[in-house]
Amino acid sequence: MKKRTLLLLTAALAVFAIAFTACSQSGSTEAPQAAAAAPVEKIVWKSSGHGPASDPSQIYHDMVCRAITEATGGRLEVKPFVGGSIVPAYKELDAIHENVLQMGYTCPMYNLDKWPAAGLISSRPGALPGEALRSWFDFGGGADLMNKMMEGYNVMTFPGALSPLPEEVFFHSKVELNSMDDIQGLKARCMGDGGEILKRLGAATVIIPGGEVYEAMQRGTIDAFEYSTLASNWDMHFNEVAHYVYLSPSRAPSDPQVFFVNKEAFNALPADLQAIVKNVISNYTQLQHEDLIVKSITALENFKKAGNEVRKVPADIDAAITAEADKFYSEKSASEDPIFGEIYNSMREFGISYNSMK
């Protein structure tokens, strides 16, 4: 009896051991599977500014790329590149269209070869001042009109993507400008519609990337140039190559730059990542505008302390530019695709309403 009891006990223990081992093995197999959730696929974008590393807009571009990467927890990594390092400067939108870049920060006017209307949403004579320009772009239909202009191109923008920036310096110049006579034959780097209008008034305008302006002034290739705000231009040491700093809002009352993205790449993002991209960009474009207003005030004093003569543009030059701009845009509105007139009239009507509050 004792022997039989011992055999039954031994058998029971064996069954228990087998069952325990099976459960343990089953548990050890399932636990790692539960802990190792499917990894989130990392998305990598490349983005380029349009200027040299010292340009404040390039600096803000790089900050935006890092902020997006951080805000998404690395799910979307945006790698920043300096203007001209991936594609030639001012060809950023072509690279975005071809998906060489997925994002870029540049001036619309650098794309006049594709869209004549691009110069309207840029540093142009008679444009809206910075505050009004951003409001028009974000809430007055400006972003939608720009996307309409770019239809058929794999590039898009959105409200919040435009940073208006303060008004541009009219000219840094080696030569004194006392009247319209001094504009005749002036060798000047001047971009966009402002350059075309000054050419019509007799200036010898040329297109030179921002990173090459300093050397062009040193070599004597040009005698004057516009580039950006007082703050940007002080950081780029332009006080060293031009004695005169001429100020006026007549040529460029704001210096807008815009973030663009590859349409397919953006639409492929999950909704939460799309929202993060838009929110980060909107925050930083506004911060850049406000920052450069303060820094431009300081820069103005720095130019004076450095020995530069800071002057207002003579009244006859301002008047000539305003009158020629009216003719230029009337002609363009009549001859270009309808989108040109749509954008021009939308901005003009917004400006009339904006000024009526003052």
Instruction: Kindly list the domain boundaries of the chain, sorted by start residue.
Output: 43-166+255-295, 171-253+308-355
What pLDDT is attached to residue 52? Answer: 86
> What pLDDT does 191 receive?
87
Intrachain domains 43-166+255-295 and 171-253+308-355 with the same fold: yes
State whether the Cα torsion 106-112-114-116 is positive or negative: positive
Which residue has 């006080």 as its token pair?
239
All residue ranges of the chain with pLDDT < 50 are 1-36
> What type of residue sits at position 290?
E
Q: Where are the alpha helices (DSSP H) in the chain?
A: 2-35, 56-71, 92-97, 130-139, 142-149, 192-200, 213-219, 230-235, 263-267, 271-305, 315-335, 338-355
One DSSP character per residue, 145-209 reads: HHHHHTTTSSEE--TT-EE--SPPPSEEESS---SGGGTTT-EEE--HHHHHHHHHTT-EEE---
Q: Give the CA count within 13 Å in the CB-facing half-sphere of 348.
A: 13
What residues contact 116, with CB distance under 8 A and at least 6 apart? Answer: 332, 336, 337, 340
pLDDT at 122: 87
CATH code 3.40.190.170 for 43-166+255-295: yes
| CA distance to 80, 102, 172, per residue, from 95 (Å) | 14, 8, 31
pTM for the model: 0.80
- Residue 54, Cβ density class (10 Å: 0-12 exposed, 13-18 middle, ≥19 buried): middle
Q: Report CA 315 to chain centroid distance, whole Å.
A: 32
For domain 171-253+308-355, the CATH class is: alpha beta
Find, among 259, 209, 221, the residue nearest to 55 by Cα: 209
Q: For 210-249, what is each residue's pLDDT tens digit?
A: 889 999 999 999 999 999 899 999 999 999 999 999 999 9
Tokens 């990894």 belong to 39
Dihedral angle over CA of 307, 174, 111, 68, nearest 10: -20
Q: What is the pLDDT of residue 8?
A: 39
Rounded to whole angstroms, the Cα distance separating 287 from 46 reads 22
Distance CA 181, CA 201 (A): 10
pLDDT at 38: 55
Rounded to the nearest 5°, which phi and psi values hold at 246?
-105, 130
Per-residue pLDDT, 47 = 98
Residue 78, H or E segment: strand 76-81
Q: How far is CA 49 from the centre of its chain?
A: 7
Specify the residue for token string 């691009």. Answer: 118
Tell me if 245 sits within 8 A of 313, measured CB to CB: no
Distances (CA, A) of 43 to 65, 76, 94, 138: 13, 5, 21, 28
* β 224-225/244-247 pair status: unpaired
**Quick check: 55 and 232 in contact, CB under 8 A?**
yes
Q: Token match 């009244």: residue? A: 315
